[in-house]
Amino acid sequence: MKARALTIILTVPIIWACTYFGGLAFLALILSLALLSINEFYKLMMKKGYMPAFWLGNVITIFFIIFAYYSLERNWEPAHSAIFTMAAIFAFMAGVFLKREKDTSVDIAVTIMGIVYIGWFFSYFLFIRNMTDHGGYLFFLMLTIWANDVVAYLVGTRFGKRKLAPNISPKKTVEGAAAGFMVCLAAAGIFSWIAKLPLIHALILGAIIGIVAILSDLIESVIKRDAGEKDSSNLVPGHGGVLDRMDSFILTVPVMYYYLVWVVLR
């Protein structure tokens, strides 16, 4: 618990400073988190006996993140899709050089999965950060997800009786998830001023975040459980791996982005 608390004390100010000031500092933060996450993901896949193309996943992830940074003021979606298309093509080509007599198709699929799950989805951090001068939407997202996670953990540990998904994540409970969702809604209302969101949109986003975050967390748990691991790595003291800390954000970030674009800012 001390290691967990110390990690939070040391890392949260850095994350908030990079988010607030943006620029190259934020680019470096997201790029670092993405590269650490995709390598943890591929190592989990290797424990299953698969052989993803590490070099391709890392290179395409770098392309996604850096492209997202330098295309913030332009119509980025066509080129973003083009990068993904080329990534898929190169992943298929990489299968020729993996030198495996079996499971090559699975290796290709796992390589592409890592590119989408990490490289593609992490690029949305930069798109959301760019929507406000000092990352108001991203601060809103962080505060609501962290409120959800903390309360779900505390209530689930203390009062949880019914398992939410016992075969996937035995420690998560229905009571914890419900409490986390309610607090996520409350946090969305309280912190709506940070993102300058109308209360109705803040509450709708709070509900969306509360649902998608737990599903995003469970998906990462499925990946770890399938690989026979409790944590994605031991890189973050008291927390497991970087992927473990990012799990609730991975699916939530693109979902929030499109709600903002299609509903709030249209």
CA distance 185 to 247: 20
Say if residues 126 and 68 touch (Cβ distance below 8 Å): yes
Domains of the chain, by residue range, sit at 1-130, 134-266
pLDDT by residue, tens only, the chain of 266 residues: 677 778 888 899 999 999 999 999 999 999 999 999 999 999 999 999 899 999 999 999 998 999 888 877 666 666 677 777 888 888 888 777 766 667 788 888 999 999 999 999 999 999 999 999 999 999 999 999 999 999 999 999 899 889 998 888 888 999 999 999 999 999 999 999 999 999 999 999 999 999 999 999 999 999 999 999 989 999 988 778 999 999 999 999 999 999 999 999 98
CB count within 10 Å of CB 107 equals 21
Helix axes 54-70, 121-129, angle to 10 degrees: 20
CA distance 145 to 206: 9
CA distance 121 to 116: 6
